[in-house]
Amino acid sequence: MSLNAGDTAWVLASAALVMLMTPGLAFFYGGMVRSKSVLNMLMLNFISLAVITVLWALFGFSLSFGNDVGGGLLGNLDWAGLTEGVGKLAGFGTDENPWPGADALPVLAFAMFQLMFAIITPALISGAIADRAKFWSWVVFLVLWGTVVYFPVAHWVFSFDGFIGADASGGWIANDLKALDFAGGTAVHINAGAAALALAIILGKRKGWPKETPRPHNVPFVLLGASLLWFGWYGFNAGSALAASDTAALAFTNTTVATAAAVLGWLITEQLKFGKPTTLGAASGAVAGLVAITPACGYVDIWGALAIGVIAGVVCALAVALKFKLGLDDSLDVVGIHLVGGLIGTILIGFFSNLDVNTASLGDNGLLYGGGFTQLGRQIVAAGAVLVYSFVLTLVIGLLIKATIGFRVSEEAEVIGIDEAEHKETAYDFGGFGGGSSSEAARPATKTSADTLEGSKA
């Protein structure tokens, strides 16, 4: 009943892989904005690593995975501070292998793996408010949203009875409703997508949008980001098996197949509708596929993965056009890809769930596998619950911030560029005037720094 080194190795590696997804997302998003706001975009993502980690250590992990306080709605504070977790194991017991079972992990390894999910989820939202959000207001948003929206929802979806402790009790969606979500279609993607919709409404359109929609300033960065996301997503999905097991291999396979199918689906849609397959489309299709297969990767067979992938690729490629009809400046299509993709994957489980490939599944077979409508119903309830909860609470949080410290930069800041306005930086200097500095002399930095040091003494 002791720690399984192979499984622990895989979960630690997966945690590192998922950590890399947030910088990956930063470049995926950062490449899409104009060159004078790329740094702000990178920062909105990167700062999530810092803010959410601290919350997680203090109370986030505990709220998400502590023993349920009732109704499967929230965890208690037993694990606040995380130090409690040192030396403890977690796992699932079986008759021959009572808790923590044969695949026991250090609680801290599990906590770190799950932390990375908590970090990237709010980061996903940032794409909806590119070029115009105040940095510190976003930091406040991260604190509130993580606490009020993500931690509870993670408890609902990811906290299983009898995992963190022999008789620990978890969240309602996972254990009572028995909706299936292998790696976070609801808690991560629908959750972030619904929040993105709310923030896009609250912050409003960028100056000049849609007449002057900027084009991506660095498409290779977009593809670099998408590639790092794809790479890290293996930790996200296959790591969610929490063991180096056959289920992990299945999740890995389905993730790859669905993503590949989605890329083809998106590109063919582009070819038919716009005449050419684009690089931005390939990157977007990959992310759409990864999003859609996330909840399903451990519960469907390869045919299911193929179907989910193609559908996600085609539908998302069409969905990104809706924002123009709605006049909604969801700048980088978080709704069109993460909300739509998350819904596709979560709901299609109701059709493709196949218990033959995952005997440990708590759910039923899908509609196409003789399971009737039961599972489909559960999936819709879970998706709807998370969507509504996230959208409503994000509206509240967003309006609160807007009303108090303000959420959007000045119009002037938008014109000169948010990087200069919010971060006093310029992303690139490709040697204007053969080296830059000659035309732009730095004030005697010594003096400056001296001053500021004085200043700090004062």
Chain positions 298 to 317 lying near another protein, rule: CB under 8 A, are 317
Q: Which of 96, 327, 356, 424 binds another protein (CB under 8 A)?
A: 424
Q: Per rule CB under 8 A, is residue 276 in the interface with another protein?
A: yes
Taking the C-alpha atoms of residue 111 and residue 154, their distance in angstroms, rounded to an integer, is 12
Shortest CB 214 distance to another protein, Å: 9
Residue 333: helix, strand or coil by DSSP?
A: coil
Going by C-alpha positions, the residue among 28, 40, 47, 26 that lies closest to residue 426 is 40
Taking the C-alpha atoms of residue 28 and residue 334, their distance in angstroms, rounded to an integer, is 12
| Site track 207-246 with a second copy (rule: CB under 8 A), x = hit | -x-xxxxxxxxxxxx-xx--xx-xx--xx--x----xxxx
Q: Per rule CB under 8 A, is residue 433 in the interface with a second copy?
A: no
| Site track 88-117 with a second copy (rule: CB under 8 A), x = hit | ---------------x-xxxxx-xx--x--
Going by C-alpha positions, the residue among 211, 234, 226 that lies closest to residue 281 is 226
- DSSP H helices in 275-373: 279-293, 302-319, 322-326, 334, 340-352
Taking the C-alpha atoms of residue 58 and residue 81, their distance in angstroms, rounded to an integer, is 5
317 binds, among another protein, a second copy, none (CB under 5 to 8 A by kind): another protein
Kindly state the helix (H) or strand (E) to which residue 337 belongs, with its residue range. none
| Site track 369-408 with a second copy (rule: CB under 8 A), x = hit | ----------------------------------------
Contacts of 181 (CB under 8 A, 6+ apart): 157, 173, 174, 187, 295, 346, 349, 382
Q: How many residues of this chain interact with a second copy, rule: CB under 8 A? A: 144
> At 145, which amino acid appears?
W
433 binds, among a second copy, another protein, none (CB under 5 to 8 A by kind): another protein
Contact (CB, 8 A) for 264 and 40: no
439 binds, among another protein, a second copy, none (CB under 5 to 8 A by kind): another protein
Q: Which of 324, 360, 381, 411 binds another protein (CB under 8 A)?
A: 324
Chain positions 244 to 273 lying near another protein, rule: CB under 8 A, are 270, 273
Shortest CB 258 distance to a second copy, Å: 9
Q: Per rule CB under 8 A, is residue 437 in the interface with a second copy?
A: yes
Four-CA torsion 210, 212, 213, 217, nearest 10 degrees: -170
Q: Per rule CB under 8 A, is residue 404 in the interface with another protein?
A: no
Q: Per rule CB under 8 A, is residue 420 in the interface with another protein?
A: yes
Which one of 97-105, 237-245, 392-400, 418-426 is the stretch in contact with another protein (CB under 8 A)?
418-426
Q: Per rule CB under 8 A, is residue 325 in the interface with another protein?
A: no
Distance of CA 15 to the CA centre of its chain: 14
Distance of CA 116 to the CA centre of its chain: 9
Running DSSP on this structure, what letter comes out for residue 330? -
Q: How many residues of this chain interact with another protein, rule: CB under 8 A? A: 38
Contacts of 197 (CB under 8 A, 6+ apart): 128, 328, 330, 334, 335, 339, 391
Shortest CB 222 distance to another protein, Å: 10
Which one of 52-60, 101-109, 116-124, 425-433 is the stretch in contact with another protein (CB under 8 A)?
425-433
Contacts of 201 (CB under 8 A, 6+ apart): 328, 395
Contact (CB, 8 A) for 190 and 386: yes
Residue 167: helix, strand or coil by DSSP?
A: coil
206 binds, among a second copy, another protein, none (CB under 5 to 8 A by kind): none
231 binds, among another protein, a second copy, none (CB under 5 to 8 A by kind): a second copy
> At 9, which amino acid appears?
A
Q: Per rule CB under 8 A, is residue 441 in the interface with another protein?
A: yes
- Applying CB under 8 A, the residues found at the interface with another protein are 210, 213, 215-216, 270, 273-276, 278, 280-281, 284, 317, 320-321, 324, 333, 415-416, 420, 424-426, 432-435, 438-443, 445, 448-449, 452
